[in-house]
A and B are shown apart, each in its own frame.
Chain A
Amino acid sequence: MVSKYSNAVLLPLLLFGIVIAIWSAISAQIPGFPPPSEVWSELLVVLSDPFYNNGAGDQGIALQLGNSLARVFGGFALAIAVGVPVGLLIGMSKNAYTAFNPYIQILKPVSPLAWLPLALFVFKEVNTTAIFVIFVTSIWPIIINTALGVRSVSEDYLNVARVLQLSPFERVFQIILPVAVPFIFTGMRLSLGIAWLVIVAAEMLTGGVGIGFWIWDEYNNLNYSHIIIGIILIGVIGYILDAAMGLIADFFDYRKRGLK
């Protein structure tokens, strides 16, 4: 009998073998499409010196990824700084909700990349533009989930606050935020996931240092194995970001703390 744990290793390995086989078959059909072996050896080369810096156009993979991450975290931090207070406001005030809601509904479905040319025109600088695009990407889920968290505060808890005559400030910090924080983290986790998707596309358009531009640049260099390496690294980092946000979210969730 195969145990649950060896299954968890064996089954993905089996699929890995199938993927490698299909990939090899494809590279045999398309001239120049790098086979798995070539990507593997290139990956070792790329990872062997991740921090080299030969000027703007030629930097190690860690610096490329680091630049992308810095933009993502910059825009993400701004989105939290603006989105959480706005979300609290529209969650607590019916009037604020009525005022903001139509704009949120209209702006939310706009691809963040549509903002890119406008941002480039205004900022005239690649880095700020990318950070702005990530800000626009991240802000909607944060606002919406924060407001949802505020609205899910039960009437009973608010009545407790009223009987104790908590000030608005105390009400926010002692009653509303403890309930809303898990929702806020859900919004942040969603935002970060989308931001990581969007940064690749944004960097392809803006150029400069960053994983998105690196992939585009390697396309122009006809270095296709690097494109595949880029895809794999983006995936791994995206997974790590999501898992880390999940851990942080659980840490701040009283419902999960209480179970310990």
Chain B
Amino acid sequence: MSAKPFLKIDHVDKIFPLGGGKEYVALRDVQLDIKENEIVSIIGHSGCGKSTILNLIAGLDTISNGTILLEDKHILAPGPERAVVFQNHSLLPWLSVYQNIEMAVRKVLGEELSSSEIRDHVMKYIQMVNLDHAKDKYPGEISGGMKQRVGIARALSIEPKVLLMDEPFGALDSLTRANLQDHLMRIQMQTGNTVVIITHDVDEAVLLSDRVIMMTNGPEATIGEILEVNLPRPRNRLELQHNPEYLRCRGAIIEFLYSKFAKEDE
């Protein structure tokens, strides 16, 4: 890993204008350097501004103060080098699994690839998430877990520098979720993507991340603590259950969320 920050979030504020001249300061002075190939998770109580940070990195929303730099370039608008996996998968329901991915590939890599290369490329990512058998199905015909896998395949297929995931497994049952977490870790080891993943699940944060970013509560939310997870990869959830480092990290996050920054109404 290079020491130079790959993705730099520098003194970022996000202020939402409210009606009648009022405003809501969602984020205040957020600072974070993310290294290339790193998996970072952002955890915090609901409403603290996790999605807001992700949207700023994605360029889907505008920064009020400060800057975000990816490889020293200012982020001003959305772009395919920062692929997003949305919480509700946001597949286009009128396109099949294959077509959803193909549409993204064609737009982003269409000029470099011939049509047979496009087909191979799309199939490679469909296979990566084990969905060969469902490639001609429509989103309405497959399960939530499968949809989320398609969402991940679509995001990865455009070969982004950073993969941004907003509670990607939040809506899934715990078995499906565990399965997808394993998928994600395996794929990331193959592709080496830099991943920023938002979660409110403590185990998910520890299992997946190199570092866990813990957010204070809003308004004026910011980064409270950053936890390094010193666990070797590949990680196996069964073996980790009693691993002292795993338990230490888990304990630290729970301490942060439910003692230091407990939220009354949860």
A contacts, CB < 8 Å to B: 154, 156-157, 159-160, 162-166, 170, 174-175, 178-179, 254-255, 257-259
Interface string of B117-152 (1 = CB under 8 A from A): 000000000000000000000101100000000000
The B68-94 residues at the A interface (CB cut-off 8 A) are 77-80, 82-84, 86, 88, 90, 92-94
Q: Is B247 an interface residue (CB 8 A)?
A: no
Whether the pair A163, B84 counts as a contact (CB closer than 8 A) is: yes
Whether the pair B90, A165 counts as a contact (CB closer than 8 A) is: no
Contact (A258, B108) CB under 8 Å given A162-B78, A165-B79: no
Residue of B nearest to A253 (CB): B94
Task: Point out the residues of chain B lying under 8 angstroms from A163, CB to CB.
Answer: 58, 60, 78-80, 82-84
Whether the pair B94, A254 counts as a contact (CB closer than 8 A) is: yes
Whether the pair B141, A164 counts as a contact (CB closer than 8 A) is: no
Would you call the interface of chain B mostly helix, strand, loop, or mixed? Answer: loop
Task: Point out the residues of chain B lying under 8 angstroms from A164, CB to CB.
Answer: 80, 103-104, 107-108, 158
Count of residues in B whose CB is under 8 Å from the partner chain: 24
Task: Point out the residues of chain B lying under 8 angstroms from A166, CB to CB.
Answer: 107
Contacts A163-B82, A259-B140 known; 5 new A-B pairs at CB < 8 A: A156-B90, A163-B78, A163-B84, A254-B93, A257-B94
Kindly identify which residue among A156, A175, A254, A258 contacts B88, using a CB–CB cutoff of 8 Å: A156
Chain B CB within 10 A, most for which of A162, A163, A166, A254: A163
Would you call the interface of chain A mostly helix, strand, loop, or mixed? Answer: helix
Task: Point out the residues of chain B lying under 8 angstroms from A160, CB to CB.
Answer: 86, 90, 92
**A238 to B60 CA separation, bound complex (whole angstroms):** 48
Going nearest first, the 6 A-B pairs with the smallest beta carbon separation are A254-B94, A156-B90, A162-B78, A258-B138, A178-B94, A258-B140
Residue of B nearest to A154 (CB): B90
Task: Point out the residues of chain A lying under 8 angstroms from B108, CB to CB.
Answer: 164
**A164 to B59 CA separation, bound complex (whole angstroms):** 12
Task: Point out the residues of chain B lying under 8 angstroms from A258, CB to CB.
Answer: 93-94, 138, 140-141
Contact (A255, B93) CB under 8 Å given A164-B158, A170-B107: yes
Residue of A nearest to B158 (CB): A164
Residue of A nearest to B164 (CB): A163
**A175 to B92 CA separation, bound complex (whole angstroms):** 8
Task: Point out the residues of chain A lying under 8 angstroms from B86, CB to CB.
Answer: 156, 159-160
Whether the pair B90, A174 counts as a contact (CB closer than 8 A) is: no
Task: Point out the residues of chain A lying under 8 angstroms from B84, CB to CB.
Answer: 159, 163
Task: Point out the residues of chain B lying under 8 angstroms from A179, CB to CB.
Answer: 94
Q: Provide 22 A-B residue pairs closer than 8 Å at the C-beta atoms, listed in order of the A residue.
A: A156-B88, A157-B90, A157-B92, A159-B78, A159-B84, A160-B90, A162-B59, A162-B78, A163-B58, A163-B60, A163-B80, A163-B82, A163-B83, A164-B108, A165-B107, A174-B92, A174-B103, A175-B92, A179-B94, A254-B93, A257-B94, A258-B140
